[in-house]
Structure 1
Amino acid sequence: MTPAVERARQRIAAQKALLPQMYASVDFDRQPERFNDEATAVMVRDCGPPELRVTDEEFELVRAYTMLGDVVADAYAGLIPQYGFKRLIAMLVQACDQGIAAVEDAPPELAAFIGAMEATPDWVDMELVAEGARIDRNATANLAPFAIRGAFIATFLNKYSALPMALTGTLSNDSAARRVNETATFFATTVLPGALERHGEGFKAAAMVRLMHSMVRFNALRSGRWDSAVYGVPIPQVDQMPAGLIPIFLMAFKIVGQGRRTFTASERAQVELARYRCFLLGLPEELLATTPEGIVRIMTARNSTLRQGFDDETCGELIRATLSAYLPASRSPAARLHNVIEKSFAKGFFLRQFLKGDQAAAQRMGVPVSGLDRAVFALVAVAVGLRMGAYRWASRTPLLRGAADAILVRKIRALLQRYGHAEFTSDAGAYRPTPGVRAAA
């Protein structure tokens, strides 16, 4: 056993002692059904070039972090019976905006939570993070408004990782729209200038998302509808990897396919942004690789060991609710048109990026992609590609770089207005079982 794996196992075991109100019923010595280390794991170990073969340590790290929640944020969420979730959110917002000293009678759990986020590790290069945010503003302003729904749908392809969203009542169109817009808000906020600095709005957004995840864990584990022997812990660290690392995983996969094994300077900055954003969300360094092949290996380890399982009453309903959701804040003709175009593009994006063009699989999952959808995807992809190319050219031109960046920042600010106010909350009163959840539990 390597030191990294041993540290991970110690962190997992400590959860029950530190947070008995949440984890007393969880057997951390029992491997949950969701973790599959059988044929797929063996196949991954034996296939491909040596530098892309998942190592035993990487498999063991994924196995361990399948059972890790978030000790500091979970401890704070565990105060819900005492303070109520609205008061916890209000104190967290004040601590982010004004510092922990400004919160009257701040509980020690809040101080520990904020302190963990403030403790920027030595492996983070904040100058690279700022440069990565500047580079990502192009895609955030121009591509994300069309792709976010498709990327969100991709998180519902497996019942073992999708169940927490089903429990929180995200099966309705309104709640699905809110979750999509909150996700878009988080990523858009974190690329604004200075947003990830201590008192920046991205830092606060990360804290809110982190607390929301812990509230989901707290409420799910106490709901009586969560079977830890099957699902492990709700929203473990390995299930946050895809959301935080999907863009750089796709980039790394493409780079490896081209035969490269190193990032360019701009690619490395984007990786650093993603790694720091993941750190703020509570992910450990061991899951945040720095090389193309390392990123591909750790994501492959996570994906190959997540037992396959598509439950239509959980996954299918989540997908259909997300596809049916109306995302714009207004009902103007322009907003309605954008919703139609964006939905068609999202289907095409999902089909291409996550299903490798398998239309039959998309149909089975409740994502029918028509000829019109494919045509819209192609046209929007060309238009977005040309626009992003123009901004990339401007960013490399000294006389235009500042002006181009200022325009992108304004576009992102406008998008945030369109996404609406993000609440980042999880109220136990909204939790309701679905037929699929009842069967699973």
Structure 2
Amino acid sequence: MTKAAARIDVEGAGTRVPTEFRYWEHVDDPRVQRARRLFRTVFRFDPQPPDELVQRFAAAYYDADPVAEAFVDDVYLHGPGPKTGRAMLDRALEHGIDAVPEAPESMRRLFAEFETLPDWYDAEQVALGARVFRRWGTAAFSFATTTTLEMYSESSIAKPLSYAGGYAGEAAHKRQLETVRFWIDVTDPGGLDLGGRGRATAMRVRVMHVFIRRKLLQRPEWNLDAWGVPISIGDATLTLMGGSIVPAVGLWTVGFQTTIREIEATLQFWRYVGHLLGVQPGWYPRDVREAVQLMYAAFVKRAHTAGADGAELVESYLPAFAPKPGSPWRKRLRDEVNHRVQIGYTGYWLFPWTYARHRMPRRFPWVLHPLLRLPVNLTLETARRLVPPLDDVADRVQRARRERWYRNETGGRAAEFTPVEEFRR
């Protein structure tokens, strides 16, 4: 099979493993096993997953989104083109698929799947998961991005972003804020209901991902054997973990008291978001134990081969928040404060050796900011738990804070979620 002819249903999918999926090379390393024993002693369960799960996770690097793939091929790549495709998509999202009489069968299949609830869907759990993410406020934005910076060492994650240029250099701020807009839209109350803003955003992001994936597979430098397919189910599932189990645990370090029940609700919520995005692995974690085991496999399998492309993405993040020349003094002041807050959170959560390995701003004294927030958050969280009506107040406050933060960063511009039509290299 030639690179140009490769489709997402690549030969050997289901058993094929990318050469840069190094789990079995690393799992018996004494350092890994020491960490495993320590975790088992403290938390009373084994973080190392069954080998069958690891095999399915590895094979998912050759899985993607065949339903949306067919639509993108029919309309964006071999049909009327991106502009017409976007108009058709917008019309279907606003008025339903029947409002697009010219829709090909592939688009109708896409919307039939999009509008059908999966068997495992639990409305109460999904609503609670969204509420928990809202409660974390803007701290969730900083934490989720910091965990992504750690994973930019992996070529399968860094290369698509680097080739497209969306998260590198001066474009980093725009794309980062599109991600924040996505998080806000899908977690706002009613955001995932039929006709909800988050639901529409999820479809636009899904199509954007497919478009990039199809384009990258045509490029001779994409290493299918080493990395799997671009924006694979394997990597996309880890992104969903970055909105659930990972911040749920990490944000305890700044005072957010997320319970086991709430963590499992965030798993359910992001699983449903993943369903809308076309990320539908049958092995998606059902509880905290399985989520921890997946993240264990994700860290053990790392190859650290992204090199300069990964470093550029890491080093573009914090400068993206620096005040822009010519801004009004009030916005500049807010931007100066927020820039230092981001330095503090990144310096606090990013592994010290990762921070030191890259050209990053000095962490001190800004790294003290999360520590100063800890007693404040801890007090507010305790009050919220002990006085139930305060939970609704906290939800309203955090929703308002998220929108204020976003408006300041964007200057009121709307997120576009448009596919990249030309790569920068």
The answer to whether residue 189 in structure 2 is matched with residue 228 in structure 1 is no
Q: What does the per-residue CA deviation read over 1:65-84, in whole Å, with 9 as the maximum and x for residues that have no partner?
A: 01111111222222323122
Question: 1:312-327 alignment to 2 at 5 Å?
Answer: 312=308, 314-326=309-321
In structure 2, what is the equivalent of residue 366 of structure 1? 359
Give the C-alpha shift of residue 249 in structure 1.
2.5
Which of 25, 30, 49 is matched with 1:39 structurally?
25
Give the C-alpha shift of residue 145 in structure 1.
5.5
SS of 1:66's equivalent?
helix
Give the C-alpha shift of residue 144 in structure 1.
3.8
In structure 1, what is the equivalent of residue 192 of structure 2? 196
Which of 265, 269, 276 is matched with 1:273 structurally?
269
Aligned mates of 1:24, 1:118 — CA distance in 2: 24
In structure 2, what is the equivalent of residue 390 of structure 1? 380
In structure 1, what is the equivalent of residue 424 of structure 2? 432
Say if 1:65 and 1:237, in contact at 8 Å, map to a contact too.
yes
Which of 54, 61, 84 is matched with 1:59 structurally?
54
In structure 2, what is the equivalent of residue 170 of structure 1? 166
Give the C-alpha shift of residue 286 in structure 1.
3.1
SS of 2:275's equivalent?
helix
The answer to whether residue 210 in structure 2 is matched with residue 214 in structure 1 is yes
What letter corresponds to residue 90 of structure 1 in structure 2? A
Q: What does the per-residue CA deviation read over 1:367-396, in whole Å, with 9 as the maximum and x for residues that have no partner?
A: 3443233234444x34xx625753673476
Say if 1:210 and 1:281, in contact at 8 Å, map to a contact too.
yes
Aligned mates of 1:408, 1:352 — CA distance in 2: 22
Q: What does the per-residue CA deviation read over 1:57-105, in whole Å, with 9 as the maximum and x for residues that have no partner?
A: 1111111101111111222222323122222222222222211111231
In structure 2, what is the equivalent of residue 159 of structure 1? 155
- Specify every segment of 5 or more residues in structure 2 that has no aligned partner in the other structure, as ranges: none
State the TM-score, normalized to the length of structure 1. Answer: 0.80
Q: Report the CA distance shift for 1:388/1:199 in structure 2 as closer, same or farther (over 3 A).
A: farther
In structure 2, what is the equivalent of residue 71 of structure 1? 66
Give the C-alpha shift of residue 285 in structure 1.
4.4
SS of 2:199's equivalent?
helix
Q: Report the CA distance shift for 1:21/1:161 in structure 2 as closer, same or farther (over 3 A).
A: closer
SS of 2:46's equivalent?
helix
What letter corresponds to residue 40 of structure 1 in structure 2? H
Give the C-alpha shift of residue 351 in structure 1.
3.9
Q: What does the per-residue CA deviation read over 1:334-372, in whole Å, with 9 as the maximum and x for residues that have no partner?
A: 4333333333333443344341xx2x4312123344323
Give the C-alpha shift of residue 187 in structure 1.
0.6
Say if 1:253 and 1:292, in contact at 8 Å, map to a contact too.
no
Question: 1:87-98 alignment to 2 at 5 Å?
Answer: 87-98=84-95
Which of 338, 341, 347 is matched with 2:337 structurally?
341
In structure 2, what is the equivalent of residue 409 of structure 1? 399
Aligned mates of 1:186, 1:328 — CA distance in 2: 23
Q: Report the CA distance shift for 1:399/1:30 in structure 2 as closer, same or farther (over 3 A).
A: closer
What letter corresponds to residue 95 of structure 2 in structure 1? Q
Aligned mates of 2:68, 2:144 — CA distance in 1: 26
SS of 1:283's equivalent?
coil
Q: What does the per-residue CA deviation read over 1:153-195, in whole Å, with 9 as the maximum and x for residues that have no partner?
A: 3342323321000110236533211110011111111111111
In structure 1, what is the equivalent of residue 99 of structure 2? 102
| Greater helix content | 1
CA RMSD of aligned residues (A): 3.3
Q: Report the CA distance shift for 1:211/1:188 in structure 2 as closer, same or farther (over 3 A).
A: same
State the TM-score, normalized to the length of structure 2. Answer: 0.83
- Specify every segment of 5 or more residues in structure 1 that has no aligned partner in the other structure, as ranges: 1-15, 434-441
